[in-house]
């Protein structure tokens, strides 16, 4: 109930505390030797004051408001003031205006509920210490601040400083009267009342005066600025009215009225606008009539109306989708796997059956640069008879770039999608959203949700742009997203996307695409005719293998553009009419080849196997090398290998060790020799399990000292029990082996279905070994391999021993052995 003081109180000791009536003050703090006028309305407080006035007795005034709530009773501060009543005057209603005077500070020790008022037991406090030299400087600062405040704020009397000057000789009284004279906060006044040392009290007093001076200066500055603005507005209004009158006298028309009439006409002609848009446009047109053309708000409203009324509200392509025609256009415009076209046609069929909308997941094309993502999206737009729009969201880290900025801010504008859609003639275009892999690198959830609210068909039918302020329907637009790899997709997008992987192109496909699409387009862009540039299949193959290393066609197209630019220069100079590029003159256009393709070994070698790998640039032929040396059974791996590949090497070594008898390997070799497995191109990081079978063959070849065939390549993941599991990228890997001149390839049995995607000429010229277990590879890949006769004899004897063991167990347990079951059954039947 009592809020104790934060400062130590110099209480005068006495035998017992004196008890006085207690008057809680809610709206004021009473200082010693100052007077205070209060409006009293409570009956118990009125009885206390009247009783004190009649008997000329004292009572206690204490501030009864706290910054925190106290659950038990009314909060009272410990330090109060002993006071007497000077006058009582009847006020409005039943209230009384009371003038009280403070005598001295006291410390409340306890409070008791009495009748009819509260009773407080108090202790007296020692007076303040004598005046020091430093206190005189504080008093001078106090008077300086008082003078400044009275000059700034007319609410304080100019004579206040002169009146307080009479108390200079009594610093204790001066501090109390200054605190009582100024409009400090009640908590600050209570703090001054509780501070008894004069040095500390004057420090707080000066701080309160400085805060009061700052407050007054701020208020005066605001009032002055407001006054100037009002005067400026009044002056502008008068001048504007005069200008209006002058124009009327001259008979000139008003520009704002013409502009408003123009927008009203546009609004009337756009009958397809939703009611929300019509209402918003009318409000803005009415505001436009009341503004001057020279005002900034006039231009803002004009820009807003320009966006609002020029968006394609309700305008569709009005072209019926024909699946047969769409399939023909996709085949003509997009050169890629049939499975990709089928999945796109399936989605288009759903949209046709639903009347032009689809609430399913958003289509996302995943593939390396140049694999035809934009070409496929453009082909879809042509197949549907719709406009094609490309929007990049790369580098977007702020949701306002997508949702727009509210018109209350300076420089406000709509979001990126609405600005781009304003240029379309319909509301249902095909929109390709690119560069999602570099979107929102800070991983801000608000930015992710802003993009999803636009492209997600389940929630974009009432998209609200912060600048536009009215709902816009994106559900009729077909959104197609593109990303370079699945790992680059932001996690919140994965469950809302329908992933469609775009496979890389092999060399033969690139040549066909170049002859059908790339060369005609590039020649047209460079002012050349197609028949003027002659590139054979062999030359195109050299460009692909020697100057590019990619899964797509981007770098390939750039090299062809480089050739066409040089040809354009020669044509402009009039040197030739036809240019034929061959192996001999290709260096003159493109320079020295940048890459040296891998080729098969010329002869079988021990410890060298041709593995097949898939990279971001397509398939690669990867030679794996191994050798053994005297040591203590260590396995050394080099070539920037990842953890998965290291584990595959360890599993292959363990499997070969378990098959030492079959391979004719001395078991002591595993303890006396170290193995070193090396993957060339050590600067390139490598990882993945698909090299497991090749590593197994290398280890078996080194330890069994048998060479591996040089005309065979292999890929597949192996398990510790010798099973071969399917892997990815079969199309690219086979193309890499075919390019290197290898005509026999070992593939997992589970990848048999992937052979359907290979070109017919590759399948016709290549022999495929589809295997399920590693044991089958020993006879295929190792030269002169014959299972050890010792091993076969040992296995025969092991089978005989197992049969005898089963017979013995049957006699001990009473269960018949397999060989004795049928005779016993016959005897049982005769009984």
Annotated catalytic residue within 375, 690, 701, 731: 690
DSSP secondary structure letter of residue 679: -
Q: 59 near 21, Cβ under 8 Å?
A: yes
DSSP secondary structure letter of residue 758: S
The residue whose two tokens read 């044509």 is 571
DSSP secondary structure letter of residue 31: P
**Paired tokens of 411:** 């420089």
Annotated catalytic residue 690: yes
User: How big is the CA angle at 550 (ends 549 and 556), to the nearest 5 degrees?
Assistant: 85
> Strands 118-124 and 362-366: what pairing?
unpaired
Nearest one of 552, 537, 543, 556 to 505, comparing CA atoms: 552
Rounded Cα distance between 544 and 800, Å, is 61
> Strands 579-581 and 533-535: what pairing?
parallel
Strand partners, 463: 472
Say how many C-beta atoms besides its own lie within 10 A of residue 814's C-beta: 6
H/E segment holding residue 652:
helix 643-658
Q: 509 near 739, Cβ under 8 Å?
A: no
Rounded Cα distance between 410 and 412, Å, is 6
Annotated catalytic residue within 571, 628, 731, 733: 733
Annotated catalytic residue 733: yes
Q: 496 near 459, Cβ under 8 Å?
A: no
* Backbone dihedral angles phi then psi of residue 302, each to the nearest 5 degrees: -65, -40
The residue whose two tokens read 């890997």 is 733
Length of the chain: 831
DSSP secondary structure letter of residue 530: G
Start-to-end CA distance of the chain, whole Å, equals: 106
Q: Is the four-CA dihedral 334, 335, 338, 339 of positive or negative sign? A: negative
Q: 107 near 79, Cβ under 8 Å?
A: yes
Q: Is the four-CA dihedral 246, 248, 253, 258 of positive or negative sign? A: positive
DSSP secondary structure letter of residue 438: G
Question: What is each CA distance from 171 to 104, 146, 178, 183, 555, in whole angstroms?
Answer: 15, 15, 10, 20, 89
Active-site residue list: 690, 733
């Amino acid at each position: 109930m009592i809020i104790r003081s934060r400062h130590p109180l110099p209480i005068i000791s006495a035998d017992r505390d004196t008890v006085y009536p207690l008057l809680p003050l809610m709206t004021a703090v009473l200082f010693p030797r100052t007077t205070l006028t209060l409006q009293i309305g409570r009956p118990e407080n009125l009885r206390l004051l009247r009783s004190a006035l009649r008997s000329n007795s004292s009572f206690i005034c204490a501030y009864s408001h706290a910054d925190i709530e106290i659950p038990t009773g009314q909060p009272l501060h410990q330090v109060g003031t002993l006071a007497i009543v000077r006058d009582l005057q009847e006020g409005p209603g039943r209230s009384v205006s009371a003038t009280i005077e403070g005598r001295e500070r006291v410390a409340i020790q306890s409070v008791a509920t009495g009748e009819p008022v509260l009773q407080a037991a108090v202790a007296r406090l020692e007076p303040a210490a004598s005046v020091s030299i430093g206190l005189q400087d504080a008093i001078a600062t106090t008077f300086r601040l008082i003078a400044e405040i009275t000059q700034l704020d007319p609410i304080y009397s100019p004579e206040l400083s002169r009146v307080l000057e009479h108390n200079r000789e009594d610093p204790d009284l001066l501090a109390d009267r200054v605190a009582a004279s100024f409009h400090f906060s009640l908590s600050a006044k209570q703090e001054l009342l509780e501070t008894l040392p004069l040095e500390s009290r004057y420090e707080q007093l000066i701080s309160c005066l400085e805060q009061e001076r700052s407050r007054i200066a701020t208020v005066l500055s605001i009032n002055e600025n407001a006054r100037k603005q009002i005067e400026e507005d009044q002056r502008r209004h008068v001048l504007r009215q005069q200008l209006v009158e002058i124009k009327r006298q001259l008979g000139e028309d008003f520009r704002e009225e013409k502009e408003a009439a123009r927008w009203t006409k546009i609004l009337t002609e756009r009958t397809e606008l939703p009611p929300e848009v019509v209402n918003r446009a009318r409000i803005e047109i009415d505001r436009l009539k009341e503004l001057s053309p020279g005002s900034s708000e006039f231009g803002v409203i004009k820009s807003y109306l320009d966006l609002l009324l020029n968006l394609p509200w309700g305008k569709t392509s009005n072209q019926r989708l024909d699946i047969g025609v769409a399939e023909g256009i996709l085949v003509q415009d997009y050169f890629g796997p049939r499975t990709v076209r089928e999945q796109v046609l399936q989605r288009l069929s759903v949209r046709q059956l639903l009347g032009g909308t689809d609430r399913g997941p958003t289509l996302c094309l995943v593939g390396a640069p140049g694999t035809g993502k934009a070409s496929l999206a453009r082909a879809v737009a042509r197949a549907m008879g719709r406009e094609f729009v490309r929007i990049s969201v790369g580098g977007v880290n702020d949701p306002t770039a997508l949702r727009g900025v509210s018109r209350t801010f300076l420089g406000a504008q709509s979001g990126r999608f609405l600005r781009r859609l304003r240029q379309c003639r319909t509301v249902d275009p095909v929109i390709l959203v690119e560069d999602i892999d570099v979107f929102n690198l800070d991983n801000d959830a608000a930015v992710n949700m802003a993009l999803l609210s636009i492209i997600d068909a389940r929630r974009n039918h009432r998209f609200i742009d912060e600048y536009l302020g009215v709902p816009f329907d994106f559900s009729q637009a077909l959104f197609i997203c593109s990303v370079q790899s699945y790992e680059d997709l932001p996690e919140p997008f994965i469950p809302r996307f329908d992933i469609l992987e775009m496979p890389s192109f092999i060399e033969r496909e690139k040549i066909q695409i170049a002859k059908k699409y790339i060369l005609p387009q590039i020649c047209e862009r460079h002012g050349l005719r197609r028949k003027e540039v002659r590139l054979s299949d062999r030359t195109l193959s050299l460009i692909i293998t020697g100057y590019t290393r990619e899964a797509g066609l981007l770098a390939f197209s750039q090299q062809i553009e480089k050739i066409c630019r040089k040809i354009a220069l020669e044509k402009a100079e009039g040197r030739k009419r036809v240019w034929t590029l061959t192996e001999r003159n290709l260096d003159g256009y493109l320079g020295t080849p940048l890459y040296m393709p891998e080729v098969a070994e010329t002869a079988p070698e021990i410890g060298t196997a041709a593995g097949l790998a898939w990279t971001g640039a397509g398939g690669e032929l990867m030679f794996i090398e191994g050798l053994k040396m005297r040591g203590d059974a260590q396995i050394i791996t080099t070539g920037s290998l990842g953890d998965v590949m290291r584990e595959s090497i360890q599993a292959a070594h363990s499997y070969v060790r378990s098959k030492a008898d079959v391979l004719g390997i001395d078991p002591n070799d595993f303890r006396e020799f170290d193995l070193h497995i090396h993957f060339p191109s050590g600067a390139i990081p490598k990882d993945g399990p698909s090299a497991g079978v090749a590593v197994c063959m290398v280890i078996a070849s080194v330890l069994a000292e048998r060479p591996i065939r040089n005309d065979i390549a292999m890929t597949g993941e192996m398990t510790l029990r010798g099973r071969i599991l399917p892997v990815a990228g079969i199309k690219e890997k086979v193309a890499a082996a075919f390019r290197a001149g290898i005509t026999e390839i070992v593939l997992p049995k589970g990848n048999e279905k992937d052979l359907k995607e290979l070109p017919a000429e590759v399948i016709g010229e290549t022999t495929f070994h589809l295997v399920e277990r590693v044991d089958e590879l020993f006879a295929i890949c190792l030269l002169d391999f014959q299972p050890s006769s010792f091993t076969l004899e040992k296995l025969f004897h092991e089978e005989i021993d197992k049969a005898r063991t089963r017979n013995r167990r049957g006699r001990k347990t009473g269960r018949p052995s397999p060989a004795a079951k049928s005779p016993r059954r016959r005897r049982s039947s005769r009984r």
